[in-house]
């Protein structure tokens, strides 16, 4: 009995640890190319990202790069002089390991809007992202934390789902403690 419970606990914990990671191709079928100024902002806003999700940038490697910058300021001004990471493969997978904002810009076309701010939520139970010092008077371009964005419906649904999953996991964790 105890062994069966251990196995069950292991399976459940493993399952919830890996089940929810999603892979997103940035720009969907268009990939990482120059588009209208707000294209990637709209794209990111239409999604809800969680820790563990992966985003993939697809482009012709000789034509561009993906540069991850450290701050919202660098993102806004397309300042790539002190990048966090540079991706050049043309098939760049980046896994979101921390909640908060992750800023990626095109090496060539950042100034014309080819850049994306990936706001990542805590896994399972979505909480407002701990925004790293956003400017209070956000210009229209800044995709800062906006609780009343169009995706709020989807977020609400996910929150309910998330709470449920959280409860189930919590119950199992509680049950597993004894074993
Ligand atoms: C770009 O970023 C670097 C490093 O953070 C900083 O020293 C520099 O002043 C910035 N340049 C501009 C134009 O903001």
DSSP-assigned beta bridge partners for residue 94: 55
**Domain spans in the chain, listed from the N-terminal domain onward:** 24-150
- In angstroms, the CA 22 to CA 51 distance is 10
Mutation probe of ligand 1 site: the residue of 76, 82, 83 with most atoms within 8 A of C-beta? 82
- In angstroms, the CA 80 to CA 69 distance is 6
- In angstroms, the CA 179 to CA 165 distance is 21
pLDDT score, position 162: 55
77 Cβ below 6 A of ligand 1 = yes
Q: Look at the domain 24-150 and name its fold.
A: Immunoglobulin-like (2.60.40)
73 Cβ below 6 A of ligand 1 = no
- In angstroms, the CA 138 to CA 145 distance is 10
Q: Which residues of the chain have pLDDT under 70?
A: 1-20, 124-179
Q: Which atom of ligand 1 is nearest to the CA of 79?
A: 1
Mapped onto helix, strand or coil, the DSSP state of residue 104 is: strand
pLDDT score, position 123: 78
């Amino acid at each position: 009995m105890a062994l069966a419970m251990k196995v069950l606990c292991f399976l459940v914990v493993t399952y919830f640890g890996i089940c929810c990671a999603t892979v997103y191709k940035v720009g969907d079928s268009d990939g990482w190319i120059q588009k209208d100024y707000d294209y990637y902002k709209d794209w990111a806003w239409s999604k809800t990202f969680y820790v563990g999700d992966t985003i993939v940038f697809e482009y012709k490697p000789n034509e561009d790069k993906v540069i991850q910058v450290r701050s919202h300021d660098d993102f806004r001004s397309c300042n790539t002089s002190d990048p966090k990471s540079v991706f050049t493969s043309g098939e760049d997978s980046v896994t979101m390991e921390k909640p908060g904002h992750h800023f990626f810009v095109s090496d060539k076309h950042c100034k014309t809007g080819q850049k994306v701010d990936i706001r990542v939520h805590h896994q399972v139970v979505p909480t407002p992202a701990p925004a790293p010092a956003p400017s209070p008077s956000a210009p229209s371009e800044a995709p800062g934390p906006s609780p009343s964005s169009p995706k709020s419906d989807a977020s609400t649904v996910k929150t309910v789902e998330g709470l449920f999953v959280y409860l189930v996991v919590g119950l199992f964790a509680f049950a597993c403690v004894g074993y």
